[in-house]
Amino acid sequence: MSKIKKGDIVGRKSYDRDVFFKVIDIINKRQKKYALIKGIDLRLTATAPVEDLEPIEQRTVADYWRKVMKNNNEQLERVFNRRNEERECYFCRTLKLSNEDKKKIEAFDKPGSVLHLDGDEDYLSLCMTTYKKMGIPAHGYHVSETEQQKEVVQYLEEHRPDILVLTGHDGLVKGKEDYLNLENYHNSKNFIASVKAARHYEKNMDDLIIFAGACMSHYEAILEAGANFASSPQRVLIHAYDPVFVVEKIAFTSIYDPIPLKDVISGTITGFNGIGGFETSRVHSV
């Protein structure tokens, strides 16, 4: 077996290499080597014995990324097609445009602004590129899950966004099965603390719409803390791009219309098992 080192792309033999991970650290514990690993496109962290890891060939990784980007581009195409259909519907309903009707149509091209704090720098870069492709004004910062609660308010004050994304990595601690116990999650408590800090800054859930969580996060507790949308109702893995597609639907919904929950979630990659939340309205920022 080749030596596993930091930066390697690996799979877990005990899971039949079902997820590709990047090794972010090697630690010694009880005279045994373990690796701290993160999904390369799924917002999941885990700790695994080094002996259970198998390196993935560069060619295989490259092929995998091509499939990921192909799927993302197809999702983007669906987004743009949906926007065009929504514009056409408004025009059909408003052949004689009043001033109020004109404002409604203009609202489609004036998307809400986004503040995105991400515990993973690689994922943040992917998300920021996708925001740009979709025409969403966004400010992104690489902030570890443990530090987000300390820094979120200063960024909110600086940018005054319509939408806040708090994400990174999470997951159930290995061997733990009680989904309701916050102590059994890697970062859910951190996301909850960050949501509470943001909600203390802006209490109105329509004036600041919050998405928070990552793979397998404690969905119910994050919503209870004040988030509009969260992961993960069925404790499944969510994709790196899922927060972006939640944001897109909200950002491009007319400021005069409610946002049906099913429309938001159906636009994500993971779907209803991975993302949930409340019906809300996007309030225009002054």
Is position 42 within any domain?
yes
Q: Find the mean pLDDT for residues 248-268.
A: 79
pLDDT at position 284 is 42
The answer to whether 152 and 117 are in contact (CB under 8 A) is yes
- Domain assignment present for residue 215? The answer is yes
62 part of a folded domain? no
Q: What is the pLDDT of residue 279?
A: 74
Report the pLDDT value the prediction gives residue 261, as an integer from 0 to 100.
84
* Distances from the Cα of 64 to the Cα of 19, 69, 101, 189, 271, angstroms: 11, 9, 46, 32, 21
Identify whether 3 is part of a domain: no
E strand or H helix that includes residue 62 = helix 58-93
| Residue 15 and residue 157 in one domain | no
- Smallest CA-to-CA distance from 282 within 117, 132, 104, 157 is with 104
Q: Average pLDDT of 140-144? A: 98
- Based on its alpha-carbon atoms, the radius of gyration of the chain, rounded to whole angstroms, reads 20
> Same structural domain for residues 117 and 42?
no
Please report whether residue 18 resides in a domain. Answer: yes
pLDDT at 169 over 60: yes
Residue 46 binned pLDDT confidence (cut-offs 50, 70, 90): confident
Name the pLDDT band for 50 (thresholds 50, 70, 90). Answer: very high
Q: Indicate whether 134 belongs to any domain.
A: yes
The pTM assigned to this predicted structure is 0.82
Q: Is the pLDDT of residue 243 over 80?
A: yes
pLDDT given for residue 228 in this prediction: 95
Q: Are residues 22 and 101 in the same domain?
A: no
Whether residue 183 is predicted with pLDDT greater than 70 in this model: the reply is yes
Q: Give mean pLDDT, residues 33-58.
A: 91
Least confident range of 100-104, 202-206, 267-271: 100-104
Task: State how many domains the chain has.
Answer: 2
- Please count the other Cβ atoms lying within 10 Å of the Cβ belonging to residue 49: 14
35 lies in the same domain as 168: no
Question: Is pLDDT above 80 for 132?
Answer: yes
DSSP lists the bridge partners of residue 139 as 115
For residues 251 and 138, state if they share a domain. Answer: yes
| 268 and 173, same domain (yes or no) | yes
266 and 143, same domain (yes or no): yes
Does 186 lie in the same domain as 117?
Answer: yes
Q: Which residue has the higher pLDDT, 47 or 189?
A: 189
Q: Taking 80 as the threshold, does the pLDDT of residue 258 lie above it? A: no
Same domain, 40 and 181: no
Check whether 209 has a pLDDT greater than 60. Answer: yes
Q: Does some domain include residue 204?
A: yes
Q: Work out the average pLDDT over 197-210.
A: 95
Same domain, 223 and 111: yes
**128 pLDDT above the threshold of 80:** yes
- Is the domain of 181 the same as that of 245? yes
Based on the domain organization, do 220 and 265 belong to the same domain?
A: yes
- pLDDT: which is higher, 1 or 149: 149
pLDDT value for 286: 32
Does residue 214 have a pLDDT over 90?
Answer: yes
Domain encompassing residue 141:
92-281
Closest by Cα among 26, 274, 243 to 115: 243
